[in-house]
A and B are shown apart, each in its own frame.
Chain A
Amino acid sequence: MLVSVLLVVALVLRYDNLEQLDARMQKAQDRRESIDRNNRFSGTLANDLARLDVYRARIDAALVEPQNKASNLAYFYELGSQCKMAVRRVEQKAAPPPQGDPKKIKPEFTYFEPIVFDIGVDGSFADIMRFLGRMDKDRFLVRVDKLSIKRGDVLAGRMESADIVLTALCALPAKDK
């Protein structure tokens, strides 16, 4: 009788142990499965990452550095003279704040900060086109948001004048911590 009682006590005590052990085993197995799953999905990850890095580096190299304002403005003047036309003015401005409710509308930029360049040029039609084309494929990632071309005065040598508003991308400012 006594032995039985002792055995029951021992059984009950050890059962707790077994339960804890099983819980730990379940956790370990889940972890194992997640590692295996991650591994399975990551088969081509390193390869894809290497390819992605090419694009990322290209993008990072094409970002505008707003603090180097003089150099940025000089770039557009230089581009203008390369296209044999007069750059009347270049301004670097902060981009207008996004319209609408940010909760409802996904902001256009999450990873970048937009910056605006306002440019006025005078030149022949072909030169202006060349300027636009060069700018598109050149140093910065730019998008023309406004372009207005007006015919110049016939007496003033028939130069066309164009006003261009560009949006370019900058890196996000480093977060203060």
Chain B
Amino acid sequence: MPDLKLVRTNFLLNLVAGLVCLLLGGLFVYQEYVIAVHSETLVEIQKGIDRDAAVDRKNVTDCARFVRDVNKCMEVSTFLDVPFNEGALVVELARAQQPQSTFISFEYSRGKAAGAAAQSIIYEVNLRGSMSASDSRSAPQLIDGFVSNLESLQMLRDSGASVELRSSARDQELGLFNYAIRISLEQPAGGGVNEITAYYAFTQAVPSGGDFGAGQCASCGRACIALRQP
């Protein structure tokens, strides 16, 4: 029955072609629909972006200004941050001495530690004076007492400075003991404050220390900065 087969094949071919055509048509329509929806969304988003662009630009420049100014302030506070105030220290030292003691000279210096890689700052005080004996104690005893007085000074204890008696020698002529005491402290440069690179809103209080606090942001976990009330 060739006829029948021919008819059947023809019919089937047409059917398949029709189906393929219909399928492609459907796909085309669907694709057009997606394109239309996406373009509309894009227009919407773009509109929002255009609306907020000015605010965003301000946020970005403000943020850059904040970062620059904070680092500037931090640099000042690092610059001014010394473990003890030299003037106050002189006064403390003068208070800690016994009536038998007289200062000859006081030298304070702040300097970089030697060595190319050394990043630390050395604070050094060289104190020279003379001590006479008291009624009950000899001059060397008084000098030792003075050194231990210095060691227990709150100001020096807080900063972790070390006190050392460099020399103590008898002045034959005057019958006094001349002493030299060295107070020294080595600290890492920079005071451990890192520059911040971005502004992140803070959600919790930050560690104390000066006017600014550097710490970890509670929400983003990155290095952050927050200000204290001026």
Complex Cα–Cα for A29 and B91 (A): 65
CB of B47 to closest CB in A, whole Å: 10
Contact B107 A38 (CB under 8 A): no
Interface segment out of the listed A14-22, A65-73, A84-92: A14-22
CB contacts (< 8 Å) of A167 on chain B: these are: 79
Contact B76 A59 (CB under 8 A): yes
Query: Taking A48-B66, A125-B94 as contacts, is the C-beta distance between A4 and B45 under 8 angstroms?
Result: no
Contact pick for B86, options A104, A108, A132, A150, CB 8 Å? A132
Query: Taking A28-B42, A32-B49, A48-B226 as contacts, is the C-beta distance between A41 and B62 under 8 angstroms?
Result: no
Q: List B62-90 residues whose CB lies under 8 Å from chain A.
A: 62-63, 65-66, 68-73, 75-76, 78-80, 82, 85-87, 90
CB contacts (< 8 Å) of B211 on chain A: these are: 55
- How many of A's residues come within 8 Å of B, CB to CB? 67
Contact A39 B56 (CB under 8 A): yes
Complex Cα–Cα for A147 and B211 (A): 27
Q: Mark B17-50, 1 if CB is under 8 A from A, else 0.
A: 1001100110110011011001101100110110
CB contacts (< 8 Å) of A34 on chain B: these are: 56
Does A146 sit at the interface, judged by CB under 8 A? yes
Does B55 sit at the interface, judged by CB under 8 A? yes
Contact A38 B86 (CB under 8 A): no
Q: List A90-121 residues whose CB lies under 8 Å from chain B.
A: 99-101, 104-106, 108-112
CB contacts (< 8 Å) of A153 on chain B: these are: none
Does B153 sit at the interface, judged by CB under 8 A? no
Contact A148 B105 (CB under 8 A): yes
CB of B104 to closest CB in A, whole Å: 6
Complex Cα–Cα for A42 and B32 (A): 40
Complex Cα–Cα for A48 and B212 (A): 11
CB of B84 to closest CB in A, whole Å: 11
Contact A146 B109 (CB under 8 A): yes
Contact pick for B90, options A31, A56, A112, A129, CB 8 Å? A129
Does B157 sit at the interface, judged by CB under 8 A? no
Contact B87 A129 (CB under 8 A): yes
Contact B63 A45 (CB under 8 A): yes
Complex Cα–Cα for A143 and B94 (A): 22
Does A54 sit at the interface, judged by CB under 8 A? yes
Complex Cα–Cα for A150 and B201 (A): 52
CB of B85 to closest CB in A, whole Å: 7
Does B230 sit at the interface, judged by CB under 8 A? yes
Does B59 sit at the interface, judged by CB under 8 A? yes
Query: Taking A100-B112, A136-B85, A146-B108 as contacts, is the C-beta distance between A112 and B75 under 8 angstroms?
Result: yes
Does B170 sit at the interface, judged by CB under 8 A? no
Chain B residue with the shortest CB-CB distance to A22: B38
Complex Cα–Cα for A7 and B201 (A): 54
Query: Taking A4-B20, A100-B116, A132-B87 as contacts, is the C-beta distance between A151 and B104 under 8 angstroms?
Result: yes
Instruction: Name A's B-contacting residues (CB within 8 A).
Output: 1, 3-4, 7-8, 10-11, 14-15, 17-18, 21-22, 24-25, 28-29, 31-32, 34-35, 38-46, 48-49, 51-56, 59, 99-101, 104-106, 108-112, 125, 129, 132-133, 136, 141, 143-151, 167, 169
Can you name 18 A-B pairs with beta carbons within 8 Å?
A7-B27, A7-B28, A11-B28, A25-B38, A25-B41, A25-B42, A39-B56, A40-B201, A55-B230, A59-B76, A100-B117, A106-B119, A143-B80, A144-B108, A146-B108, A147-B107, A148-B106, A149-B107
Q: What are the 5 closest A-B residue pairs judged by CB atoms, nearest first?
A: A132-B87, A7-B24, A147-B108, A111-B72, A28-B45
